[in-house]
A and B are shown apart, each in its own frame.
Chain A
């Protein structure tokens, strides 16, 4: 039952991510990307990571993609028929092949599959997924967490300075 569900969602994910790069209309591409994010969120739920799933939807589908669509609408880009840069095609396919190669390598070695971590399903259900993440974030990973927030703050200040002539 779960594997059937996985195959269906995976098929939708693959089709929608193909649509992202084949759609002529930038808005339709963006929508397909939202669909892809949604499928990824579904995978996270199936992997017992509901918090990650919800964050995926809130941050990527709900915030970032809305901003992207907003910009597309404001710039009013019509169906893009201009020549695509051939560098991008080359670099993209090279990167894609590289990632595919790496994934295959990991899968063949078995290093990424079937290796149980310290947390199993029972532990997650008992302590709560969010609680575990919160505890880890504010104890073991406090420094990276704070550095990331400073980075984001710098980005916000930078955006304000770039956008506003007079402050």
Chain B
């Protein structure tokens, strides 16, 4: 047990792999059942039943969908740019999942005498005294979010179809503009937490003083901008069915199409998890339930809110979307930074 690899006991690596597997499988399952939940919830909001046929109340629907998509014919348009066309779904999917590496999803657990934090990219030192995690965690998430654009842009360009190209262009412009406002809005959180590490941001909210209460403006701006960044309704212009057939994924079929779909839902789960971590106290909650339960509950609540928003609001027009991003959210988040800076300088100290 005491063999060291790169200065850490073997148990640390076992724990690391276990965390990766558990988190990955859990996110995958959530993604699968988010598609079901979305159809069910929107169905009931529109006084329909949603899927009912496969299994009890349609509970096996995600599996049926998966099997169906798996056996569909794989089509690559003859004029498509093959390499980019095959690469695009992967590029869309991978950043959505690897963002989870830095999100703390629970309290510390003790395995075989070693303390293990429930966060993939973090470990305790051997004395169990201090956590080492990536101290640029939030920036890492922003970086991965900015890589997600490539998937959609590439899909749009490589399909060699005008609808796809327009969808890809729209999405590139939209994601780049909203990334800015989302990034600026969380600076106010860093000012209060004095750290970029997600572990410490969660620890700073341990007493129930969630940043959603201290920074309501930043919370609202971040959540809305994140919705825009992952192309959720009301900002789903890249795949606006009424104008662009299906936008960037028009030419895709079979599992490649499924991968875009999975990327969309995985992005939604990631964004909700990041929002919970930054603004809603992470895994902290009354101690009647273990930490990870609170984390999952909060994330699921936000996912429900996303679906609620989808059922409520119509799609934005493109110029409205750009105006909202650049002329409303960007100045507001800058204002919020100035106000927070003044507050930290003169009132809190």
Contact = CB atoms under 8 A, between A and B. Distances in A.
Contact of A51 (B84, B139, B146, B150): B139
A1 interface: yes
Nearest to A41: B143
Interface string A114-133: 00000000000100111000
A50 B121 CA distance: 13
A62 B81 contact: no
B150 A73 contact: no
Interface in A1-25: 1-2, 25
Interface in B278-303: none
A47 interface: no
B6 A69 contact: no
A28 B83 contact: yes
B172 A129 contact: no
Interface residues of B, number: 33
Given A61-B146, A73-B153, A128-B195, A66 B172 contact: yes
Interface string B166-177: 001100110010
Interface in B170-200: 172-173, 176, 179, 195-196
Given A27-B81, A50-B134, A66-B176, A73 B146 contact: no
Interface string A49-83: 01101110110011100110110011000000000
A69 B84 CA distance: 13
B153 A54 contact: no
A50 B135 contact: yes
B139 A73 contact: no
Contact of B146 (A25, A66, A125, A128): A66
Interface string B68-105: 00000000000001011001000000000000000000
Nearest to A127: B135
A51 B136 contact: yes
A40 interface: no
A54 B169 contact: no
Nearest to B84: A27
A69 B153 contact: yes
Given A58-B142, A61-B143, A66-B176, 12 more contacts: A1-B5, A27-B158, A57-B147, A62-B179, A66-B153, A69-B153, A69-B157, A69-B172, A73-B156, A73-B165, A128-B195, A130-B136
